[in-house]
Amino acid sequence: MVNLVQALGIVALLYCTSVAGDKVFRFDYTSSRNIDGWWKLHNIPVTWNMARLRCLAEGAILLSPLNKNYVKTMKMIMATSNGSIQRGIYSGVHATYSKGVYSSIEGVPLSRIPVSWAPGEPDNYDNNESCLLFFPNGTMADVNCNEVRPYICYKKRNYDVVRSDCGTTDSQYHLESRTGSCYKFHTIGQTWHQAYMTCAAEGGYLAIINNDIEAQALKELAAKYPETREIAKFTNFTDPVAVGYYDWNKDRTWFTIHGESLSEAGYRIWSENQPDNAKIENMGQHCGGMLRSSLLDDVWCEDLTYQFICEKSPESLIPEA
């Protein structure tokens, strides 16, 4: 347990390592001089690869104890938290490329990282441990990458970083004057659920069509990118793009991801004979898609991947006044 004097000291250190008002990256990250960048603690435990993907979608990477300053900062973050984080957090140090060959996400080899091992570690239990945990006392241990743990994302300071009109450092978001929203077309396919996570991590959400004007804007956006043709063998239509509506109760009642019916949202124009709940191995279609024509089409939530469109407001990542 951390006593009151220690707690006050930790808070003071965290204050001293932060740059007042320096939130250039995004509002939910904390700036620190110690690590020359910004960090964000994720308390909800996930697998190592999911943690890596979440940080990547936020424009960051998994934080690693690269030197004494990084170790100090990671210990301070953990000391001011509680719950499952006390059992250790994932670092960005891994051997997923080649068994036993550890390096950080940035490519720094383990031999260059000031690691203090926990008692009995590393042990590569059952020859199945390729990710490294960091503990509150500064020691580390190798673990199975499929365990679920909290983690810290890190963005190295880049003094050339500027926010666009969309309030993000992600240059792929563009402001649409007709709707007042910003959109990003993801050409690399993901399952609907993965796409939902990616948009949320970027400070937005899977695009929701609210009217004919927005439908036209998304139609024009999708037309700029070639189709993948991945699901052509399952449908007579061109490849759908994943967007933000869902068959919540799997009873063919469709709502947006913000809880409105399609009618309330303002757009419910389905393609001919859709939604049809087509089956693949008894798996129905309960997620939302949009054809290149901007007409709606139900799609499979898992197994198949789709290009997708994220939408965000220009203010979503900016600190509140």
Q: What is the pLDDT of residues 36-91, one digit of tens each?
A: 999 999 999 999 999 999 999 999 999 999 999 999 999 999 998 877 788 999 99
**Tokens in use for 65?**
């104890």
- Beta-bridge mates of residue 37: 32, 156
Domain extents in the chain: 4-156, 174-312
φ and ψ of 307, to 5 deg: -65, 160
How confident is residue 11, by pLDDT bands cut at 50, 70 and 90?
very low
Q: Point out which residues pair with 255 in neighbouring strands.
A: 246, 261
What pLDDT was estimated at residue 82?
73
Fold of the domain spanning 4-156: Mannose-Binding Protein A; Chain A (3.10.100)
On the question of pLDDT at 163 being above 60, the answer is yes
- Of 200, 291, 196, 197, nearest to 245 by C-alpha is 196
The torsion angles phi and psi of 48, rounded to 5 degrees, stand at -60, -45
Segment 92-145, tens digit of pLDDT: 999 999 999 999 999 999 999 998 999 999 999 999 999 999 999 999 999 999
Q: Of 71, 76, 133, 75, which Cα lies nearest the Cα of 102? A: 133
Which tokens belong to 240? 């759908």
**For residue 37, what are the contacts with CB-CB under 8 A and spacing of at least 6?**
31, 154, 155, 156, 157
Strand partners, 302: none
Given this chain, do its domains 4-156 and 174-312 carry the same CATH topology? yes
Going by DSSP bridges, is the β-strand pair 287-290/296-299 parallel, antiparallel, or unpaired? antiparallel
Q: Which residues pair with 174 in a beta bridge?
A: 183
pLDDT digits (tens, 9 = 90+) for 170-189: 999 999 999 999 999 999 99
**CB count, 10 Å around CB of 257?**
19
pLDDT, position 303: 82
Residues in the chain: 321
Q: Counting beta carbons within 10 angstroms of the beta carbon of residue 292, is it exposed (0 to 12), middle (13 to 18) or buried (19 or more)?
A: middle
What is the overall mean pLDDT for the chain? 88
The CATH number of the structural domain formed by 174-312 is: 3.10.100.10
